[in-house]
Amino acid sequence: MNECRECCSFCDRILHPSGCIQSGCRFLYSYDDDSTGRRFMGCLNKIFKVEIDVGVFEEAQRTRHGYGGVKLTGTPIPQCRVSVESAYGGDGEAFRCVNPGFFDVPDEHADPAFDIRDRL
C-alpha cells in the first residue's frame, strides 16, 4: 500500500518527521534511553515504525537538506507531511509510471478491492 513496484522506478511513500514536530502532532512521543543517554522519538500510531535518534535528527535539520523522510508504514492522518520518493530514475518505457494514483494521498476509507497496487 505504501510502495509501488509497477515500473522500474520503485516508489515509496515517505513521512517527514519535521512535519510532525511543526504540526505539534499529539502522537509523536519521545523517551530517553538510560543505557545510552540518547533521546529517541517515534509515532504512537505507527504511521512510521522507526524510532529516530533526536540528536541525529536535530543535527541533520541544521544542514541544507534537513533530516529527510522515513518510510510510511501506516495510513497518514491529515497533519502528516507525506511525499513519494523514487529509488531509481531512468528514461524509457520501463521507468514510465503506470500507477499515477499512487501519488495521491492515501484514503483510509478506500475500498482495498479497487486498489491496483495490490493486483496479481
Residue 76 burial (CB count, 10 A): 20
pLDDT at 29: 96
What is the average pLDDT across 18-46? 95
pLDDT at 117: 46
**pLDDT tens figures, 48-74:** 999 999 999 999 999 999 999 999 999
**What 3-state class would DSSP assign to 107?**
coil
Please report which confidence band the pLDDT of residue 47 belongs to, taking 50, 70 and 90 as the band edges.
very high
Find how far residue 16's CA is from the centre of its chain.
6
pLDDT at 97 over 60: yes
Q: Which residue has 529516530 as its cell numbers?
A: 52
Measuring CA to CA, which residue among 81, 23, 24 is closest to residue 48?
81
- With a CB cutoff of 8 Å and minimum separation 6, the contacts of 31 are 39, 40
What's the rounded Cα separation, in Å, for the pair 61 and 115? 36
